[in-house]
Amino acid sequence: MRTLKFLLEKEFRQIFRNKSLLPILFVLPMVQLLIMPLAADFDIKDIRVAIVDNDHSSYSRRLTEKIGASGYFHIEGFAASYAEALRLVGTGSADIILEIPPQFARNLVKEGDQKVYLAADAINGMKGSLGASYLTAVLTDFNNDIRVEWMQPQKMEPQPTIEIVQENWFNPSMNYPFFMVPGILVILVTMVAGFIAALNIVQEKEIGTIEQINVTPIKKWQFILGKLIPFWLIGMIDFTIGLLIARLVYGIVPVGHIGTLYLFLSVYLVALLGFGLLVSTYSDNQLQAMFVAFFFIMIFILMSGLFTPVENMPGWAKVISHMTPVTYFIEVMRMIVLKGSDFGDIRTPFLIVLGFAVLLNAWAIFNYRKTS
């Protein structure tokens, strides 16, 4: 116990004396939390539409105005022909083409039926498909408007239609920061715990001080605890600051119990520190550790469901996704912070992450040898 006290004293002194490490530990994550959610916004606004109006009737003008007024579209220009509109897409100044055929109004009035042509630039698949579906929604709406106008004077029974009304639960205004901030916070804690711990131990190897430690009676578990505890605490502090920023800047107040959140975090940090420790036992220098940790953390993040829903991944990717602790924490974060889930709801991910913690640390301790 006394040995551990000396180890901790030394670690804290070194951490707080390291002028380049402190900003990395405390300032960088916070800056990222302030910037990333703004950038990682999947809400599509300002879709640029090029309109080819071959009709020039009052109906076609009404449709155009409706599109412009929806808030999601920006009418980039009116093209004389489809080919000209396509050139606008080609130069990147328009995302969607809406072609209104000649005789649009006439056919609409006479035959009660008219098709319009819609083409979307799908290089950015998300923007293309969302834009097209928004535009379809506007068209449907337009369709309903004119139907109402025509049916009413005839006093006929309206045709039965099913209207779908959507309500978004847990994030009613579909606010992206609500969705992204808890996830990004997980990533930040992951980086601090996974990277810094790995680099720190490898640094001792590189300088050669670990050899001096290895000839002292310091036990393996003492040395490892001496390394884990400081970074565990830093992870906790970073997370707390992150939660405060989420509250003050993004107005996110966890709906669920904060104790449950911290309980999960404390185990999660042990798992991630175990990962860092494991990387350090396999690396001889900081460069090596950096690349190995970077490789895995990239996979962790991309497979974690932060950016793309895990449910949409192919089977093999789902398997990988479920083999990374990050996936579980992002899931649990969103459950507790946005939905207000309690411990009963997160029991399974909790036990899985506990398993990760035990496995990774046991492996690391096994692999760290005082005698080669």
Partner 1 sequence: MTDKAIVCKDLCKQFGDFTAVNRISFDVNKGEIYGFLGANGAGKTTAMRMLCGLSYPTSGEATVAGYNVYRQQEAIKRNIGYMSQKFSLYENLTVRENIRFYGGVYGLSDSQLKEKGVELIERLGLGKEMNKLVGELPLGWKQKLAFSVAIIHQPTIVFLDEPTGGVDPVTRRQFWDLIYHAADQGITIFVTTHYMDEAEYCHRLSIMVDGRIDALDTPAELKRKYSARTMDEVFYALARGAKRSAD
Backbone conformation region of residue 292, classed left if phi is above 0, alpha if psi is from -120 to 50, else beta: alpha
Minimum distance from residue 24 beta carbon to partner 1 (Å) = 16
Rounded to whole angstroms, the Cα distance separating 320 from 303 reads: 7
Minimum distance from residue 352 beta carbon to partner 1 (Å) = 36
Nearer to partner 1, 45 or 369 (CB): 369
Nearer to partner 1, 2 or 155 (CB): 2
Q: Which of 71, 172, 217, 344 binds partner 1 (CB under 8 A)?
A: 217
Pairing of strands 47-53, 73-79: parallel
C-alpha 148: how far from its chain's center?
Answer: 42
Residue 54 in the binding site for partner 1 (CB under 8 A): no
Q: Which of 143, 216, 240, 367 binds partner 1 (CB under 8 A)?
A: 216
Residue 10 in the binding site for partner 1 (CB under 8 A): yes
- Report how many helices (DSSP H) and strands (DSSP E) the chain contains, helices first: 16, 4
Nearer to partner 1, 136 or 212 (CB): 212
Quick check: helix, strand or coil at residue 120? strand
Rounded to whole angstroms, the Cα distance separating 254 from 360 reads: 30
Nearer to partner 1, 30 or 225 (CB): 225
x/- string (CB under 8 A) for partner 1, residues 103-142? ----------------------------------------
**Cβ(146)–Cβ(121) below 8 Å:** no
Task: Looking at residues 179 to 208 of the shown chain, list those that interact with partner 1 (rule: CB under 8 A).
Answer: 207-208
Task: Looking at residues 220 to 239 of the shown chain, list those that interact with partner 1 (rule: CB under 8 A).
Answer: none
- Which helix (H) or strand (E) covers residue 77, if one does? strand 73-79
Q: How many chain residues interact with partner 1 (CB under 8 A)?
A: 25
Beta bridge mates, 77: 50
Nearer to partner 1, 158 or 217 (CB): 217
List for the chain the helix, strand, coil content (%; round to 5).
65, 5, 25
**Cβ(95)–Cβ(128) below 8 Å:** yes
DSSP 8-state assignment for residue 306: S
Helix axes 176-191, 286-302, angle to 10 degrees: 150
Q: Which of 143, 209, 240, 367 binds partner 1 (CB under 8 A)?
A: 209
Residue 212 in the binding site for partner 1 (CB under 8 A): yes
Residue 286 in the binding site for partner 1 (CB under 8 A): no
Rounded to whole angstroms, the Cα distance separating 354 from 267 reads: 6
Quick one: which segment of 10-18, 41-49, 61-69, 91-99 binds partner 1 (CB under 8 A)?
10-18
Strand order in the sheet with 117-120: 73-79, 47-53, 96-100, 117-120
Task: Looking at residues 14 to 53 of the shown chain, list those that interact with partner 1 (rule: CB under 8 A).
Answer: 14, 17-18
Q: Which of 46, 65, 145, 211 binds partner 1 (CB under 8 A)?
A: 211
Residue 1 in the binding site for partner 1 (CB under 8 A): no
Q: What angle do CA 240, 194, 372 make, to 5 degrees?
A: 140
Rounded to whole angstroms, the Cα distance separating 64 from 84 reads: 18
Nearer to partner 1, 312 or 371 (CB): 371
Minimum distance from residue 362 beta carbon to partner 1 (Å) = 20
Nearer to partner 1, 81 or 216 (CB): 216
Residues of this chain that bind partner 1 (CB under 8 A):
2-3, 5-7, 9-10, 13-14, 17-18, 207-209, 211-212, 214-219, 370-372
